[in-house]
Amino acid sequence: MSDERPTRGAGAVLFSASRIWTQIAAAILFLAAAGILTPAGLGEFLIAASIYTALSVIVGQGVYEYVLKEHDSQTAPVTAFVFNMATATIAAAAAFGISFLLPHILHSDNSATLLRYLAPVFYLDAMALLMECVILRQGGIARTAIATIVAETAGLLAGLASLFAGLGIIALVIQRVTRGAAYVAVYGVSYSWRPRLGFDRADARAIIRFIPAIISSRGINAGSTALIDLTIGSLLSLGDAGLFRLANRLLTIGSDLLFQPFKALLWVELPPLRRDSAAFAAKLMQLTEIFGAGYFAVVWGMALIAGVALPLLLGPEWQAASSAVMALGLARLISMPMSAAEAVFALNNRNRLIVWSSVIGSIVSVAVIYVAAPYGLLWTSIGFAFVSLLTLVFLLPFMLQAGGIPLSSMLSLIVRLSANAVAMTAVVAPWLAFAPNFGVTNWMLVASGIGLGAAAYLLAARIFTPASLTAYLRPVVKIMRRAGRCGIGSTPVR
C-alpha cells in the first residue's frame, strides 16, 4: 500500500480532467433530453432526478470524507462499507415511499415510476463511493480518474441511445444503472481492495460524530432543490418546472466544470495546513481566486448568451428560460465567496453553521417561491438572488473567521472578479443587441459573442486578477514548451 497523496504529476491533471468530463457528459445528456422532451417532460425527468439526488446525499456522504481523513486507518473502510449499505437501504425505501405521493402532487405518474426504477441504483452508488475513496487515499488518483472517465462515458452512451430510441424519461434510469455498474466494475478490476463485512465500534462512533453536519448541510441543500422543483411543478406547472430546471441545470453544468476540481483541491490541499493558520488562509485565498475567476467567466458568460443560444440549441419553446438563467446566474455569483465554506467549517469543527444556514436558506427559498409564484417564473428566479444575498451576509463573516481571512481581502477579490464580469458585459451585451443589424445571425452571433466575451474577460483578468489568469494559462504554456522541446511543429534537421 502506498501512502502517496494524490496531488502530483499527471495523476492530478487526469483527476481534474475526469471531473470536468463528468460535467461535460452530464451536459450532453441534459441537452439531448431537453432537445427531445417537451418542457413538461423535462420537468418530470428532472423532478425525479432531483429527488433521487436529495436521497443519495445520505449514501456515503460524510463517510467518504471520514475515510479520506483517516488515511492510515485499516478499519475505517470496512466500517464505512456497513454504513454505506445501510444508508443505501434507507434511501431506496424512502424513494419507494415518496413515489406514492408524487401523483397527488404533480398530477402525473411519470416521475413516480421513474423514482421507483432508480431505487436500486443507491446500492451501486454506495459501493462505488467507498471503493473510490479507498483507492484515492492510497494514491490511486490516476486509477480513480480513469474509472470516472470510463463510467461516465458508458452512462452517457447508454442514456443517449435510450433517448434516441424513444424511451423518454426511462433513459435516466438506464444511464444511472449503466454508470453505477461501470464504476463498480472498473474499480473492482483496477485495485486489490474489496469491500467486505466488518465493523469497528471506535470507527463507528467516530463516523457518527463526523458525518451528521456534512449530511445535514448537503441534504438540506439537495432536499430544498427537490422541494423547489415540486413546488414550482405544483404551483405553476410542469412546463415551468422544466424551464426553471433547465436554467438552473445549465448553470450547474457550467459552474461544476470548475467547482468539482476546486472542491477536490480544497480537501487535498487544506488538511495538511490546519496547524498553520497563515498558510491555511493564504492557500484558501489562492484557490478561491483561481476558482472565482473561472466561475465568474463561465456563469455570467452563460447568462449573457442564453437569450440567443437557447432557441438555437433547443427550440423557440425554451426562450422563456433565458431570463431565469440571468437571474439565477446573478444568484450564483453572489454566493460564490461561500463555495469553500463546507470544507473550511468541517476542517475547523464548525459544521453547525453550515447546517443552520442551509436550514434557513431552504426555508426562505421555499417561502420566496410561494410569494413570487403568482407573478411568474422570472420573479421566482429573482427571489433566489435575494436569498443568496441574505445567506452571504449571514455566513461570510463566520467563514472568514474560521479561515483566518480578513474581510478586506475577500471584498477586494469580489470587486476584482466583478470588474472582470462588467468588462465582459460591456462588450457582449451591445454586440448581441446590434450585430443582427449588420447581418450577423444565428450561430455566427452566438460564436462571435462567446469569442468577444472571452477576449474581454481575459484582458480584464490581466489587470484585475492576473494571478488567477496565470494559473489557468500555466498548463497550456507547459504543453507548448514540451511540444517545442519535442520538436512538434518544427522543421526536422536533416
Give the pLDDT confidence of 87-110 residue by residue, as tens digits: 899 989 999 898 888 888 877 788
Mean of all residue pLDDT scores within the chain: 81
Give 271-282 pLDDT, tens digit per residue: 888 888 899 999
Residue 73 confidence (pLDDT)? 65
Give 387-398 pLDDT, tens digit per residue: 888 888 888 898
The neighbour count for residue 455, using CB atoms within 10 Å, is 12
Banded pLDDT at 341 (limits 50, 70, 90): confident
3 state DSSP class of 439: coil
Mean pLDDT of 237-249: 77
Cα angle 59, 342, 379; round to 5: 90
Instruction: State the sign of the Cα–Cα–Cα–Cα dihedral 440, 443, 444, 446.
Output: positive
Does the pLDDT at position 463 exceed 90? yes
Give 14-39 pLDDT, tens digit per residue: 777 787 788 788 888 888 888 788 77
Residue bearing the bigger pLDDT, 343 or 473: 343
Residue bearing the bigger pLDDT, 166 or 237: 166
C-alpha cell, 76: 475505517
Give 60-91 pLDDT, tens digit per residue: 777 777 777 666 666 777 777 888 888 899 98
Does the pLDDT at position 488 exceed 60? no
3 state DSSP class of 170: helix
Cβ neighbours for 259, distance < 8 A, ≥ 6 positions apart: 291, 295, 339
Indicate whether this model's pTM tops 0.85.
no
Does the pLDDT at position 428 exceed 80? yes
The neighbour count for residue 379, using CB atoms within 10 Å, is 16
Q: Quote the CA–CA distance of 35 and 30 in Å, as a whole number.
A: 9
Residue 296 confidence (pLDDT)? 95
Residue bearing the bigger pLDDT, 453 or 472: 453
Domain parsing of the chain, residue ranges? 7-235, 243-476
What's the Cα-to-Cα distance from 53 to each of 47, 251, 313, rounded to whole Å? 10, 17, 26
Amino acid at 270: L
Residue 209 confidence (pLDDT)? 74
Banded pLDDT at 426 (limits 50, 70, 90): very high
The DSSP letter of residue 199 is -
What's the Cα-to-Cα distance from 467 to each of 290, 292, 351, 462, 488, rounded to whole Å? 8, 12, 31, 8, 29
DSSP assignments along 329-389, one per residue: HHHHHHHGGGTTHHHHHHHTT-HHHHHHHHHHHHHHHHHHHHHHGGG-HHHHHHHHHHHHH
